Copies of this chain bind each other. A is one copy, B any other.
């Protein structure tokens, strides 16, 4: 139990700046009270999540949404609030130029513009001390024949190589894959195999990031995790959960058993280290944002605690003997354990409130920002 607590104390979960802004579906973005109006306010909110959970010390930025004049100042501000800048996300999907693609666009001018944006993100990494660039491309096509699938791979490879070469010492990029949306026929990085193949060719600074909502129905995500760890190519996670497509619900909300299985493979594969980034990537469309992030951090923590509880010796023994029900029972025994008392104890040992949700609710922070943040443009996708 001491080991488990030590492991849990070492866990780090990154929250994304955009999660604190408004989000929605194509049908409607519902506005909420107290939503941040600039990157500084987003960092302040993220700091609340860390203050109550103790394990969310970094915040991912999204460029251009989080563009500021002085990134060093932003990083300093983060530090004062008790958090640090984490991964830099490069968004190349909200400019009219990108209607038919960014780095895979048929027009070289658009590709140049998109790649320049990626390079600028590396500049921001330099300025903020971030060591990770996260690359997700909405690139793809909606209709068969619309563009040449293979040529788009050539263009993608060319852009990735240029960005890879620009990475400095201790920097890396994570390539994200997604089955579909916003492209509806062929996406240029649709699955882990595509991301993996590009990363292998590029070298050790290129790794794959697994967004748990980006797979075809039925995909066994923990298999992918185990496989990528075996290959040394798992760079991190974008956590969220889904029942259907890329629903971007709170991680652990749709299938907590799956989250547990993923965390088990992470631990079993030696991925429970700083090498693998645990990031949230969710849309709180109808629930309040800060509590949504706190609950999500707790969900990952609970899944991790359960995964750490697995009696691996007993599991291996049952597996070796071909004891199907016995091996399954060892895993389920850990999953069925209620780890909430353990985590409450752990928090108290660290000087935190045992129930982060209740503590935040009582803090008055929400009432404060709801009162203060009036006027201005609330942050959201595109703002």
Contact = CB atoms under 8 A, between A and B. Distances in A.
Interface of A: 23-28, 30-31, 93-94, 96, 98-100, 106-107, 138, 142-151, 153-154, 179-182, 184-187, 190-194, 196-197, 200, 215-220, 222-224, 226-227, 229-231, 242-245, 247, 249-250, 253-258, 261, 265, 268-269, 285-288, 291-292, 295, 302, 315-316, 318-320, 322, 324-325, 327-332, 335-338, 340, 357, 381-382
A142 B190 contact: no
A325 B292 contact: yes
B231 A197 contact: yes
Contacts of A149: 222-223, 226, 265
B328 A181 contact: no
Most buried by B among A255, A324, A330, A332: A324
B190 A193 contact: no
| 7 nearest CB pairs, A to B | A193-B193, A145-B331, A216-B216, A184-B247, A25-B182, A217-B217, A338-B338
A160 to B, nearest CB: 14
Given A31-B96, A193-B227, A216-B216, 4 more contacts: A142-B287, A143-B250, A145-B330, A184-B247
A230 B122 CA distance: 29
A363 B128 CA distance: 55
A145 B286 contact: no
A125 B52 CA distance: 55
Nearest to A93: B27
8 contacts: A27-B381, A106-B319, A144-B253, A145-B315, A185-B249, A186-B220, A186-B223, A255-B255
A142 B285 contact: yes
A226 B197 CA distance: 13
B200 A99 contact: no
A332 B145 contact: yes
A231 B198 CA distance: 11
B325 A336 contact: no
Most buried by B among A200, A220, A292: A220
Given A99-B30, A291-B325, A244 B145 contact: no
Contact of A197 (B106, B227, B329, B338): B227
Contacts of A218: 179-180, 216-217, 243-244
Nearest to A229: B150
Given A26-B381, A218-B243, A324-B286, A261 B182 contact: no
A200 B198 CA distance: 13
B336 A243 contact: no
A176 B179 CA distance: 21
Contacts of A190: 220, 223
Nearest to A177: B193
Nearest to A149: B226
